[in-house]
Chain A
Amino acid sequence: MAEKIKPPRIRVSRRIKKNKVFKVKVKFDHPSFTGLAMADDTTEPVFNRAKPVTFIRNMLVYYGDELVSRLSLSSGIADDPLFTFKLKATKEAPVKIVFIDNFGKRWEASKEIKFKG
């Protein structure tokens, strides 16, 4: 299943001005799943393990060569998530986003940041 997962897609604000904050949206179609099922609600804990788990473990954000953010994740995130965060346009450089899942598989995408206006 994991080999069919496509790389993430990045979208940024259309008009990025120097030293202004802009939005970065990244969509990653990943089948994150807790692997849990509620088979019995009479005792604690109410969930049992039903399937193997798969989830995104880390999202790393690089701006130019610099690591600027890290999102540590668990299987409590929805599948095919869309993450939105902000960056300050300090330089014209690529924004690179790396995803690593619980099997150690790695995906990346990048978007060139150019100032307009």
Chain B
Amino acid sequence: MDRPRELGLASYIAVACLVLIAPIAIVCVLAFSGEGYLRFPPESFSLRWFSAFFGDGRWRQSLWSSFVIALIACAISTVLGFLAAYALVRGEFRAKKVLLSFMLMPLIVPHVITAIAMYFLTARFGLVGNVVWIGFCHAVVTLPIVLLILLSSMQSVDINLERAALSLGGSRLYVFRRIVIPLAFPGILSGALFAFLASFDELIISLFLAGVRAQTLPVRIWNSLHLELEPVIAAVSAFLIAVTGAVLVLDGLIRHLRSSAAAGARG
């Protein structure tokens, strides 16, 4: 219709997309650099920065802390988020929107404030550096993420299936276990994946609560960025990007399976 204008928009979009993705792509390339400092493109490639990362006991310890904390936060927020999402979708009470907006507040309140308040409490009970406790604290910020994902995915679960099962004599608990959870399962998995990712990448709360014992990967990156831009950070960053990529691929797979299952069910 209007070729030059369309072409102008398309080239703008191309540049914008390049700027959006380039920093991440460059870090991934630098992680495989064979040199002692950051030069792009690298003149030689190696896995030395990855072996520096995985070969260092302190980095491995951080990886383990991040993993355990994320697993705890993911488990708590997925269970609580699923129950709350079900209540919000199916419940017949007023003020749903107000209740939801309260539960989303941990995403809005600056994390520095949340983290300092949690630290104030944590320090009193001597829980600084306790991995389980940090997992619980992370669940506060991952819960709203699970909630948002499940609210949009559970909207499409047909309430008539539950009504039918109930009218056929199924108990509430039975219907919940055999109808509601299986139907909502893809959404629950997506929610769990993104909760895990959000906790795995969280920095500010960990920064205050970790102490020296439970430094997570983002905390250790933060600490070393104040000193110098070592190439090993590129390897750790590439690892975190790979975790993000894995979560996005798994989520895409879940969505794909769900939509093909839905198409199959329709015949």
Partners in one complex: no
User: What residues of chain A have their CB less than 8 Å away from a CB belonging to chain B?
Assistant: none
User: What residues of chain B have their CB less than 8 Å away from a CB belonging to chain A?
Assistant: none
